[in-house]
Structure 1
Amino acid sequence: MMAMLGVFISVALILGTANAASLGSVYTEGGMVQGKSHSVGLFRYMDVFKGIPFAATPGRLEKPVPHPGWDGVLKATDYSKRCMQLNLLATDVVGSEDCLYLNIWIPQGNTGNPNFQLGPMLFDSVVFDGRILLFDGMSCSIGNYGLWDQHTAIAWVHRNIRNFGGNPDNITIFGESAGGASVNFQILSPKNNGLIRRAISQSGVALCPWAVNRNPRQYAEEIARKVGCPTDSGMVACLRMTDPKAVTLAGNVKFSTSASDPIVHNLALSPVIDGDFLPAEPDTLFGNAADIDYIAGVNDMDGHIFATLDIPSINNALVSTPVEEVRALSVALSESRGLDAGIATYEEYTVNWGSNPSDSDIKKTVVDIETDYIFLVPTQTALYLHSDHAKSGRTYSYLFSEPSRIPVFPLWMGADHADDLQYVFGKPFTTPLGYFPRHRDVAKYMISYWTNFAQTGDPNNGESSVPVTWPEFASNGHQYLDINNNINRDSVKQMLRTRLVYYWTTVFASFPGVQKN
């Protein structure tokens, strides 16, 4: 499960158009770097720089420090290793502790229609990686090392990107899932004041229930015991000397989940409120993003990937999902507010069932509950907070609803978690035989909105035409754009799942909290 949040947790920075000729060697604060020029069409090419170090090889459980630099010209032609993390199946460890490098793409020549400038992109300096254990004191700084790594990369870009033809005052960061939460954390932190102009959070914000670890000491001690380290004052020193692969594997979550023990409650390797990078609760820090333009949204069935782990019958048309499992899930997700809140949650989501709900209705309800609790309601809350605190910053909301392309999924299936990424990164164009024309339409729309936003702060205005005007969230009715292959004027909607947002933020929140043992 940790891998499921970790696969796409990158932070990318979009720059203004580079108008220089082929760059050749470029001067950075660490020394000269030389990339490669690649043809991408008639009179169009791309300068690509891979593996530029933005910080020194980090000490374990320490903040990043400046890179000492290098002599001569660094051949920036190969990707560096990703940061150490679990593989997709969470059975082994991939990557390296030496992973603080940037990759930069600079389009040149006649870029024409949408030029999706992914430069630079920081891969896998993530919230959930083996180095980012969270402690409170004990001769170790508080933690949030992944967020510090990301901040260091952003600051490096701000200092150096002008030499690559970019505009340091027009940096946009974006990410998905834990990357979306990372983006939100970065714009909320006072450490990034003046560094970021725009941001996009896809299916993840700092307010998500998995985004902050409320008991880091307990989790750190669990990992220490697994690798044979003491849990007293010698814990940090021991962990620093322990095989990093062993430490990473020790942070694995359990997969024996159920409706009464949902997977979302087992995602513990997350940032902490440290009084430093995050000086207070995230919902109190939105004033720091008052001048940052912000897009945030979710996929309409983001919670499906979690629901299938908690209640496997969701994807099996031959097996019914018992009503009792929906009730158990409602109670489990509401545990912070007690049994009465769990019953209220169940009743809220089943109010329209009638006396004899169909199996598909029951299964869709499970997906709705997990989507709302894990992604949608926190994202809507973040949008409200950003809009309420905004000065010059603009706020935009979206719902991605292009149905999943996985053939074994139910017919009622919408967009699963991470389904949006293939379109943002133009996969239907680079591997056309795997997609239909409608999928290329979705990719074109998203790339146009995203790049316009990066250029101007308005997804409607820029070098790329768009199918319909996407209004600001703060305009009348808290409007949002429903993104799929058939975007038209009816795709502009308002008050996304307002009843359920009100339930979780007001009714549910009114139940007294339960102190966990």
Structure 2
Amino acid sequence: MAEDEEQEVVVVRVAQGALKGRRVPFRAGKGRAFFSFRGVPYARPPIGPLRFQVAQPPDPWDGVREALEDGPPCPQVEKIFKVPYRGDEDCLYLNVYTPKAPNQGEELKIPVMVWIHGGAFENGSAEMDMYGPEYLVGAGVVIVCINYRLGVLGFLSLEDGSHSENLGLKDQVAALRWVKDNIAYFGGDPNNVTIFGESAGGASVNYHMLSPMSRGLFHKAIMQSGCALNPWATATKPRELAFALAKDLGCYATSSEDVLNFLRNISARQLIDTYDKIKKQQSGMRRWRFGPVPETNARPNDQIFLPTSPKALLENGNFHSVPCIIGITSQEGIISLQVNGILKNPALLRNIDDRLDPLIPQDVGVDNNQCIIREKIKEFYFGNSSNGESAMVQYVNYASDVHFTRGIDRTVNLLAANATPVFYYHFSFSGKMNIFKNWAQATKLTGAAHLDDVGYLFTSKFFNVPEVNSGSSEWITRERMVKLWTNFAKTGNPTPAPENNLNIYWPCLSSTKKVFLDINTKLSIGRDLYKERVEFWNNL
């Protein structure tokens, strides 16, 4: 890697050709800087005949390719943060951020962390304004942020082997292969790669643990507020949805091949907008959605990412047993208050039955026992409090457990039963850098919402994460989070030795000792997280 005379531009040569990146000063100054390479192609553009196909290796280029700006996000509509349609099908790009510019041939072997963004497998991107790397790179790791195909373009499934499925997850595999082949050119160690993500990104990390395609591409895993057993992390009636999508766009074909050919020739904008329209006509856990699926009907020559259900793979111990960090925020369900309009209109909770039914998971026998299940849930969570502030708190607990706690607790138990090193955490800190809670103006509620922990790992103009004063509780929490996460990436242990700003030992969870780290103003060790709530669902 060579720097020009202005010390602003850096050039690195990867397998496909030369890349021009940029030296980026740390905002804290003191002469420190990191090096960014943005918009790096890790696959051929999945356009034209490559739509609905597995990502192909990237083409080489001549000369020096500029890697100074983000690649476009994949096509999407983002409703929660009110972002209209954006993106481009030519979106399979990644960003690399490294703390040191190595000379050509120099092996620095810096630990690598690959970030997989969240967004329900329907939105999100690797953009630097969304996930700025400064805190993590400053702690001595290489950061890679990746795009992957979303929604219908990334997760179309006709469930009959007519085409390759789980394309968005296979995109992630292609990105991890690119990292394995090229990250040494940026000073990274291809034999010390940690994959980490939040929400759908956390679930993606879990899926890579289960996938034969991902074997050998990573060595540690961090799952934040997401796992493969969460109810939103798998597709619901994707075949029916694909045919409904085609019909809404004017195709009344009855064969998978005809529907596939039709959808291949519709503009990305029309596909995304029509999918969004169909989603609006449905609600809750019964909403049809595209997402990961078991590839039980794959064609003989297909690359299979997910051979059977996540539950079966976990129960049979058929996964990559790598050290893991996994956890949740204390008030994940605040996001459901916002999405369902309850934050602005708490009176919606007066008829609590209307709010319970859409969230009841499909695997608890609701078709036959809807009323019985609903009454048990209502009694356990709400008792006699069916309105007011108490009802809002209990609704948050209910939504948290349905969407996150239940699946993550099951995952933790199954991982630990296979002797996988598991570090379990609970993020409960509330401060100015809590992304979702501050955006939703839900600061009167205690604890941390879904997405809130991400503000203590990344800078983010998109999420309006503010700068904070050195020594503030937010600053201390950020320092702790970054230290824990990067310690783990470097060593496989978040607390390998006493640290001044940690001053705690975070033990592994075991099948007989369910310990967790609570991340709040102080760090503390607890046991049996949400025991009564977890047992309620286990016994339902």
Same fold (TM over 0.5): yes
Residue 473 (structure 1) aligns with: 509
Residue 16 (structure 1) aligns with: none
- CA shift at 1:103, angstroms? 0.7
- Closer/same/farther in 2, CA of residues 120 and 326 from structure 1, 3 Å limit: closer
Unpaired runs of at least 5, structure 1: 1-20, 509-517
- CA shift at 1:156, angstroms? 0.8
TM-score (norm 2): 0.79
- Closer/same/farther in 2, CA of residues 112 and 313 from structure 1, 3 Å limit: closer
Q: Secondary structure at the match of 1:186?
A: helix
Q: Secondary structure at the match of 2:233?
A: coil
Aligned residues: 476
Residue 11 (structure 1) aligns with: none
Asked if 1:99 corresponds to 2:129, the answer is no
Equivalent pair of 2:469/2:475 in contact (CA under 8 Å): no
- Closer/same/farther in 2, CA of residues 347 and 443 from structure 1, 3 Å limit: same
Q: How does 1:10-29 map to 2 (within 5 A)?
A: 24-29=10-15
- Closer/same/farther in 2, CA of residues 170 and 415 from structure 1, 3 Å limit: same
Residue 476 (structure 2) aligns with: 441
- AA partner of residue 209 (structure 2): I
Residue 10 (structure 1) aligns with: none
| Distance across 2 between alignment mates of 1:189 and 1:354 | 42
Unpaired runs of at least 5, structure 2: 1-6, 102-109, 111-134, 297-303, 431-436
- CA shift at 1:84, angstroms? 1.1
Asked if 1:177 corresponds to 2:177, the answer is no
Residue 399 (structure 2) aligns with: 370
- CA shift at 1:504, angstroms? 2.0
- CA shift at 1:204, angstroms? 1.0
Asked if 1:419 corresponds to 2:407, the answer is no
Asked if 1:86 corresponds to 2:77, the answer is yes
- Closer/same/farther in 2, CA of residues 320 and 211 from structure 1, 3 Å limit: closer
Q: Secondary structure at the match of 2:477?
A: helix
| Distance across 2 between alignment mates of 1:121 and 1:327 | 37
Q: Secondary structure at the match of 1:38?
A: strand
Supply the RMSD in Å over aligned alpha carbons: 3.3
| Distance across 1 between alignment mates of 2:92 and 2:469 | 34
- AA partner of residue 86 (structure 2): V
Residue 48 (structure 1) aligns with: 36
| Distance across 2 between alignment mates of 1:470 and 1:301 | 22
Asked if 1:240 corresponds to 2:264, the answer is yes
- Closer/same/farther in 2, CA of residues 400 and 315 from structure 1, 3 Å limit: farther
Q: How does 1:251-330 map to 2 (within 5 A)?
A: 251-252=275-276, 262-266=283-287, 268-275=289-296, 276-286=304-314, 287-310=317-340, 312-316=341-345, 321-325=350-354, 328=357
- CA shift at 1:347, angstroms? 2.8
Asked if 1:135 corresponds to 2:158, the answer is yes
- AA partner of residue 45 (structure 1): A
- CA shift at 1:102, angstroms? 1.4
- AA partner of residue 269 (structure 1): F
Equivalent pair of 1:81/1:99 in contact (CA under 8 Å): yes
Asked if 1:69 corresponds to 2:60, the answer is yes
- Closer/same/farther in 2, CA of residues 477 and 185 from structure 1, 3 Å limit: same
Q: How does 1:336-355 map to 2 (within 5 A)?
A: 336-338=365-367, 340=369, 343-344=372-373, 346-348=375-377, 350-351=379-380, 355=384
| Distance across 2 between alignment mates of 1:319 and 1:402 | 28
| Distance across 2 between alignment mates of 1:415 and 1:112 | 21
| Distance across 2 between alignment mates of 1:212 and 1:352 | 26
- CA shift at 1:137, angstroms? 3.7
| Distance across 1 between alignment mates of 2:473 and 2:20 | 39
- CA shift at 1:341, angstroms? 6.2
| Distance across 2 between alignment mates of 1:101 and 1:430 | 25
Asked if 1:198 corresponds to 2:220, the answer is yes
- CA shift at 1:183, angstroms? 1.1
- Closer/same/farther in 2, CA of residues 68 and 314 from structure 1, 3 Å limit: closer
- CA shift at 1:93, angstroms? 2.2
Q: Secondary structure at the match of 1:453?
A: helix
| Distance across 2 between alignment mates of 1:348 and 1:204 | 23
Asked if 1:454 corresponds to 2:499, the answer is no
- Deviation string 1:211-244 (CA, Å, 9 cap, x unpaired) is 1124221111111112222342311111111111
- CA shift at 1:295, angstroms? 1.0
- CA shift at 1:32, angstroms? 1.9
- Closer/same/farther in 2, CA of residues 226 and 302 from structure 1, 3 Å limit: same
- Deviation string 1:347-382 (CA, Å, 9 cap, x unpaired) is 356347665677222222211111101111101111
| Distance across 1 between alignment mates of 2:460 and 2:86 | 25
- Deviation string 1:234-272 (CA, Å, 9 cap, x unpaired) is 111111111111011122166768xxx753432611111
Q: Secondary structure at the match of 2:325?
A: strand
- Closer/same/farther in 2, CA of residues 434 and 422 from structure 1, 3 Å limit: farther
Equivalent pair of 1:130/1:251 in contact (CA under 8 Å): no
Q: Secondary structure at the match of 2:68?
A: coil
Of residues 81-90 and 450-459 in structure 1, the stretch that sits farther from structure 2 once superposed is: 81-90
| Distance across 2 between alignment mates of 1:382 and 1:331 | 19
Q: Residue 500 of structure 1 is aligned with which of 515, 533, 537?
A: 533
Residue 17 (structure 1) aligns with: none
Q: Secondary structure at the match of 2:326?
A: strand
- CA shift at 1:471, angstroms? 1.5
- AA partner of residue 514 (structure 2): H
Residue 120 (structure 1) aligns with: 144
Q: Residue 390 of structure 2 is aligned with which of 334, 357, 361?
A: 361
Q: Secondary structure at the match of 1:35?
A: strand
- Deviation string 1:434-472 (CA, Å, 9 cap, x unpaired) is 999222222111111111111111111279652422211
Equivalent pair of 2:197/2:205 in contact (CA under 8 Å): yes
Equivalent pair of 2:35/2:98 in contact (CA under 8 Å): yes
Equivalent pair of 1:396/1:480 in contact (CA under 8 Å): yes
Q: How does 1:141-180 map to 2 (within 5 A)?
A: 141=164, 143-180=165-202
Equivalent pair of 2:136/2:458 in contact (CA under 8 Å): no
Asked if 1:401 corresponds to 2:435, the answer is no
Equivalent pair of 1:199/1:292 in contact (CA under 8 Å): yes
- AA partner of residue 77 (structure 1): L
| Distance across 2 between alignment mates of 1:341 and 1:497 | 25
